[in-house]
Amino acid sequence: MKSPKIDLKELNRQKEENFKERLEFIDKYAAWLKKTPNKKWSSQQKKIIDV
C-alpha cells in the first residue's frame, strides 16, 4: 500500500491561513464584546452552555 503524497508547503500555507483567520475572528469577537452590553452577550453564552 502506497502512502499518499502530501504537499508540505501547501499544508503549511493552509496552517498559516487558518491561524490568521482565527486571529481575525478573535479580534472581531473581542470588539463585539466591548461594544455589546453584558446582559446581551452573557445571555447568548448561557444559551451555548445550556445546550
37-46 pLDDT tens trace? 888 878 888 8
Cβ(51)–Cβ(44) below 8 Å: no
Can you give the pLDDT at residue 49?
A: 87
Cα–Cα distance between 26 and 28 in angstroms, integer?
Answer: 5
pTM for the model stands at: 0.65
- The ranges of the chain with pLDDT < 50 are none
CA 39 to chain CA mean position, Å = 23
Can you give the pLDDT at residue 13?
A: 96
